[in-house]
Amino acid sequence: MSSEIYIVDKLVMGHNHVMFNAAFSTMISHLFRERKVVFIGEEKHVSLVEKRNGNISNIRYEGYQELPLPEKKLAKVLPWIRKKLGDILFIRKVYSRVASESSVFFTCLSTTSLYYANYKARRGNKEVFFVLHGEVEFLFKKELRLADKIKGKLYRRLLSKLGKRTKVIVLSEIVKEALVKDNLVRPEQIVTIEHPLVGQVPERHPLNVDKLIFGHLGVAMSKKGSSCFFEMAARLSQAAALGRAEFHLVGRVEDGFIVEQNTPVKILSKNNKSIEELDYANFIRDVDYAVFTFDSDNYVFRVSGSLMDALFYGKPIIAFKQPYFQYLFDKGGNIGFLCEGPEEMKVLLERLINKDEELIAQYKEQAKNVHLLLERFLIKNVENQLHKQLSDN
């Protein structure tokens, strides 16, 4: 065993979470610059994280092979069982490598893996951190599938039995407040940071008032309320036909999500495949306003990667009022427009398309405020947030 610091992701494959894991591993390498940091993940994912991080001398990358599960439900049963057993053995091996004076950060685990990793942490004396992502929704959402309700019960049980040297890392103050309010986790066992963003911040583009581009960023899906964006575009199709507005889907369409054949929304994905990173960046740059139609039951405790993209590219936000957006507006000030519902949003879009001076005049201020809010999420500031709390504890 050695005193190396371990960062482990035993869930994500490929491109997902690359931004987060790259930023998080960079922060840990800075905070423990005198130690060797080992980042372990699926081999393709690890290569993408390493590429984004560049040459950081005290990080070593270790990739493992992971085959995707078959798509058909019956065909995936045995592979799923083998994977779950394999994950448990994998976590056991990780713990065997971590010295008592060292630490392990699990950045993403499945429900069963997290439950087992916490069980092992309670029985040992290692310093363990679990980063909680979207799974927190299973604790608080009103409408859940049976499988997700079961996950929520497992999360409640494991959070109530965290080890003495175990802490959770959450990605907004909203999550911490909810966990503490429900007596799920003691405040001293919670580390709160913003979702870290890393990269060269792009220049802001001026507003083209003659043809406004409203963008839905990321995959169109029911969970995001994406159908509302398509309906909004359909109701404003005359403005689109006259060339005064465009509605862009900067992403693909989720399987099962129905899109009308004559939709005025331009779907920028080719053959419904994921958009390459460079193309994705260029498409976002063209957008004037990023439109989000999340309801109050989704993306409150889960940080949306698409929303982070909007902040990173300096796009003013148009969204329905819900706790996380209200949190951002409270922190950032005038960063766009919050609407009570679809009708209010439709009226707002019409006014923007018609060059309402009161609204258009706010664009520069909104873009500037988004840029200032972004500072809160940039790696150097999130690293300071993390360092202070790790030092205090």
User: What is the domain partition of the chain in residue ranges?
Assistant: 5-197+379-392, 212-377
Is residue 377 over pLDDT 70?
yes
Cβ(319)–Cβ(346) below 8 Å: no
pTM of the model: 0.89
Separation between Cα atoms, residue 298 and residue 296, nearest integer Å: 6
pLDDT in tens, 154-185: 999 999 999 899 999 999 999 999 999 999 99
Task: Give the percent of the chain with pLDDT over 70.
Answer: 97
Is residue 73 over pLDDT 70?
no
Identity at 72, one-letter amino acid code: K
pLDDT (average), residues 102-128: 93
pLDDT grade for 115, boundaries at 50, 70 and 90? very high
According to DSSP, residue 218 is labeled S
Is residue 391 over pLDDT 70?
yes
DSSP state string for 34-103: TS-EEEEEEHHHHHHHHHHH---TTEEEEEE--PPPPSSTGGGHHHHHHHHHHHHHHHHHHHHHB-TTSE
Place domain 212-377 in its CATH homologous superfamily: Glycogen Phosphorylase B; (3.40.50.2000)
Q: Which of 119, 160, 155 lies closest to 135, judged by CA?
A: 155
Cβ(13)–Cβ(111) below 8 Å: no
User: Mean pLDDT for the chain?
Assistant: 92
Identical topology for domains 5-197+379-392 and 212-377: yes
What pairing do the DSSP bridges indicate for beta strands 289-292 and 212-217?
parallel
pLDDT (average), residues 69-90: 78
pLDDT (average), residues 38-50: 94
Tokens representing 93 are 């091996």
Listed range (36-50, 63-77, 88-102, 257-271) with the worst mean pLDDT: 63-77
Is residue 335 over pLDDT 50?
yes
Whole-number pLDDT of residue 1: 47
- Sequence-separated contacts (24+) of 109-114 with Cβ below 8 Å: 109/9, 109/10, 109/11, 110/10, 110/11, 110/84, 111/135, 111/151, 111/154, 111/155, 112/84, 112/87, 112/88, 112/154, 113/10, 113/11, 113/84, 113/87, 113/88, 114/155, 114/158
pLDDT (average), residues 60-82: 77
Task: Give the percent of the chain with pLDDT over 90.
Answer: 75
3-state secondary structure of 336: strand
Listed range (76-80, 88-92, 323-327, 372-376) with the worst mean pLDDT: 76-80
DSSP state string for 110-177: -HHHHHHHHHHHHHS--EEEEE--GGGHHHH-SS--HHHHHHHHHHHHHHTT--TTEEEEESSHHHHH
Tokens representing 165 are 């040297």
Whole-number pLDDT of residue 75: 64
Place domain 5-197+379-392 in its CATH homologous superfamily: Glycogen Phosphorylase B; (3.40.50.2000)
Is residue 71 over pLDDT 80?
no
Is residue 94 over pLDDT 60?
yes
